[in-house]
Amino acid sequence: MVAPSVVHWFRLDLRIHDNLALRNAINEAENRSHILRPIYVIHPEAKNRIGGNRLRFLIQSLNDLDANLRKLNSRLYILRGDASKCLPKVFKKWNVKYLSLQVDIDPEYIKQDEVIEKYCEENDIFVVKRVQHTVYDVHSVVKKNNGSIPLTYQKFLSLVKDTQVKEPIEVTKVLSEGCKPVDFDCKDYDVPTFSQLDFDESSLLECKYEGGETEALKRLNVYMAKKQWVCAFEKPNTSPNSIEPSTTVLSPYISHGCLSAKLFYHKLKQVESGNRHSEPPVSLMGQLMWREFYYTAGSGTENFDKMVGNPVCTQIPWKKNDEYLKAWAEGKTGYPFVDAIMRQLKQEGWIHHLARHMVACFLTRGDLWVSWEDGAKVFEDLLLDYDWSLNAGNWMWLSASAFFYKYFRVYSPVAFGKKTDKEGLFIRKYVPELKKYPTEYIYEPWKAPKSVQTTAGCVVGVDYPKRIVDHDKIHKENMQKMSAAYKLNKEKKSLKRPRPD
C-alpha cells in the first residue's frame, strides 16, 4: 500500500507567499504524516495554446516556484496532460486523500474543477478551495448586490467599502523528511525545458520581464519604496508611449499569481497610510480595484468573453475581416502609432493600458469595425498579463459594448500619441523603417512629400504600408453604426422588459 498523499494543485497561484491553500496542504501532510505533492499540470498543447512570450514567463515562474519549494524541503511535481484526465490517474497511483487549490474563475478552470471535484467526492478525497487570487471574494460581492453584477466602478467600490481584507499569510515551515516520497528525485517531474515542449526559444527576443515569485516581490518592493511616486500616481497622467514603462508592470506577476493581489493591497495601504495620496479610480489602489471590478463582473456573467448570449454586452454588427485583423495584429496598419504599439506587444508581451485603449478602439468602433472578440484572442496570445476577466471586460469597455457608452470618444491614431511623445521616439523604436522621418510626418508618413520619403529611406506603399483606412472619414461612419446598434439594442430591451401597468 502506497503511503497516503496530500496534493496542492498550483494553477494561477504560482507562489509560496500568501498561499493559504498551499499552507493547508502542508499542515495536513505534517499533521497526518502524509506525503506532500505540490503539482502543476502542463497541457501537451501548451505551446499552441499560449504565445511564446507567455510560455517563457510560465516556465520561468515554474522554475522559480520549484526553487522556492525546495527551500522548504519540498519540490514541484510537473504532470503533462489534460488535467481532468491525468489527475484521477495520479490520485489513484499516489493514494491521494486531500487536495487543496485556489479558486479560479476562468471558465476553463471551472470546467476542470467540476470534473476533478466529482472524482474526489466519489473517491473520498477531501477538497479545500481558497479564494486568494482576488482581494475580495467576488461571489459574495455579487450576492451583496442582490445577485446582479455591479455595472459601474463606483457601485463596485461602494459594495466593498466596508469589507475587511485579511492580512496576507507567510508560508515558511520547512517540511519534515517524512513528507517526501521515495521518488522525490525523479527527473520525470522536473519543469520542462523549451525543447522538451518542442518550442523553439530562438524565435523569442531578449526577455524583458522575467517570470516568477522572486522577481515579482523584487519588483513590488522597488515600486513600493518610491512612496512619493505611489502616493502621486494617477493613471491617466502616465504615458502610453514612453520608451521604458511609465507604470509598474506588476500585472503579469499578478495574473500568474506570482504576486498576491492581497499582499499588493496591504503594501499600498501601508505606503498610503499617513500621507496625502491619490484615490481610486486613478490611484494605484484604484488599478487593483479595477481588477476586482472585472473579476466580479466576469464571475457573475454568462458568456462574459463573448458578445452573443452575454447579458451585459451590447449587440453590435461587427464585420469579419481577416485582412484587417491580420494587419492590425502584425503592426501593419499604416498608422505608425498603432503599429508601434502592436509591435511592442508582440516583442515584449506588455503595453501600457492607454496603448491598449488606442489599439482596441482602432480595431473595433474607431476604425476597422472588427469584433472585440477577435482582438481579445490576439491579446490572449500576446499579453504576458493575459487574464480572462480583465481581457474580456476591457475589450467590452473599449468597444463601448459594456460599462462604457460614450462611443463618440474615439482615439485618434495621429493626435493621441503626440500628447506624450511629440518627437515620435516610441514610433522610431518600434517601427524602425520610419526612424529617419522628420517629426512633422512621423505620425502621418503618407503626408510626407515623395522626396522626403525617399530621403528618409522609407517610401509609403513600398517600405511601409499605406494606411489601411482613412481615420477621419471612417470613424464618423462607424459612429453612425454605433448609434444604430444602440437604438436597436434599446428597442429590444424595452420589448423584453415591458413597463408594468
Scanning 12-20, 151-159, 168-176, 322-330 for contacts with DNA by CB under 7 A, the matching segment is 151-159
Any known ligand binding at 463? no
Q: By C-beta, is 16 or 390 nearer to DNA?
A: 390
Classify residue 363 by its DSSP letter: I
**Could you say whether residue 154 binds DNA (CB under 7 A)?**
yes
Joined grid coordinates for residue 464: 511601409
CB of 364 to DNA, least distance (A): 14
Among 454, 476, 492, 494, binds DNA (CB under 7 A): 476
Any known ligand binding at 287? yes
Check: CB of residue 457 under 8 Å from CB of residue 436. Answer: yes
Cα 156 from chain centre: 20
Q: What is the 3-state secondary structure (H, E, C) of 67-108?
A: HHHHCCCCCCEEEECCHHHHHHHHHHHHCEEEEEEECCCCHH
**Could you say whether residue 94 binds DNA (CB under 7 A)?**
no
Q: By C-beta, is 152 or 455 nearer to DNA?
A: 152
Scanning 59-67, 125-133, 367-375, 479-487 for contacts with DNA by CB under 7 A, the matching segment is 479-487
CB of 29 to DNA, least distance (A): 41
* DSSP-derived 3-state class of residue 36: strand
Check: CB of residue 36 under 8 Å from CB of residue 26. Answer: yes
**Could you say whether residue 353 binds DNA (CB under 7 A)?**
yes
Check: CB of residue 295 under 8 Å from CB of residue 140. Answer: no
Q: State how far the Cα of 470 lies from the Cα of 448, in Å rounded to an integer.
A: 16
Any known ligand binding at 290? yes
Nearest 10 degrees: Cα torsion 160, 164, 170, 171? -70
Binding residues for DNA restricted to 380-399, rule: CB under 7 A? 397
DSSP string, 380-409: HHH-TT--HHHHHHHHHHHTTSSS---TT-
Q: State how far the Cα of 64 lies from the Cα of 43, in Å rounded to an integer.
A: 19
Joined grid coordinates for residue 381: 496570445
Phi/psi for 255 (5° steps) reads -65, -35
* DSSP-derived 3-state class of residue 347: helix
Q: State how far the Cα of 41 lies from the Cα of 453, in Å rounded to an integer.
A: 53
Start-end of H helices in 133-212: 138-144, 153-160
* Cα–Cα distances in angstroms (integers) from residue 141 to residues 155, 160, 281, in the given order: 11, 7, 18
Any known ligand binding at 248? yes
Any known ligand binding at 288? yes
CB of 71 to DNA, least distance (A): 36
Among 228, 415, 466, 491, binds DNA (CB under 7 A): 415
Long-range CB pairs of 146-152, under 8 A, 24+ apart, other chains included: 147/300, 148/300, 149/296, 149/297, 149/300, 149/301, 149/312, 150/293, 150/296, 150/297, 151/297, 151/312, 151/402, 151/403, 152/403
Any known ligand binding at 189? no
**Could you say whether residue 173 binds DNA (CB under 7 A)?**
no
Check: CB of residue 292 under 8 Å from CB of residue 136. Answer: yes
CB of 410 to DNA, least distance (A): 6
CB of 349 to DNA, least distance (A): 19
- Number of residues this chain uses to bind DNA (CB under 7 A): 42
Query: CA Rg, the chain, in Å?
Result: 25
Scanning 14-22, 66-74, 267-275, 286-294 for contacts with DNA by CB under 7 A, the matching segment is 286-294
Among 79, 414, 459, 474, binds DNA (CB under 7 A): 414
Annotate each residue in 427-466 with x if it binds DNA (CB under 7 A) or - if it does not, as one string.
----------------------------------------
**Could you say whether residue 150 binds DNA (CB under 7 A)?**
yes
Scanning 177-185, 320-328, 448-456, 475-483 for contacts with DNA by CB under 7 A, the matching segment is 475-483
CB of 412 to DNA, least distance (A): 4
* DSSP-derived 3-state class of residue 196: helix
User: Residue 276 contacts by C-beta under 8 Å, 6 or more apart in sequence?
Assistant: 231
Annotate each residue in 212-251 with x if it binds DNA (CB under 7 A) or - if it does not, as one string.
-----------------------xx---------------
Any known ligand binding at 387? yes
Among 483, 491, 492, 494, binds DNA (CB under 7 A): 483
Any known ligand binding at 363? no
Among 187, 406, 450, 496, binds DNA (CB under 7 A): 406
**Could you say whether residue 416 binds DNA (CB under 7 A)?**
yes
Of the chain, the end-to-end C-alpha distance in Å amounts to 71
Q: By C-beta, is 5 or 278 nearer to DNA?
A: 278
Any known ligand binding at 293? yes
Any known ligand binding at 289? yes
Q: State how far the Cα of 473 lies from the Cα of 478, in Å rounded to an integer.
A: 9
Among 162, 308, 480, 498, binds DNA (CB under 7 A): 480
**Could you say whether residue 286 binds DNA (CB under 7 A)?**
yes
CB of 3 to DNA, least distance (A): 50
**Could you say whether residue 411 binds DNA (CB under 7 A)?**
yes
CB of 427 to DNA, least distance (A): 15
Binding residues for FAD: 247-251, 287-294, 385-387
Give the binding site for DNA (CB under 7 A).
148, 150-155, 158, 235-236, 281-282, 286-287, 290, 353-354, 357, 397, 404-412, 414-416, 419, 476, 479-480, 482-483, 486-487, 489-490, 493
- Mark the binding-site residues, compressed into ranges: 247-251, 287-294, 385-387
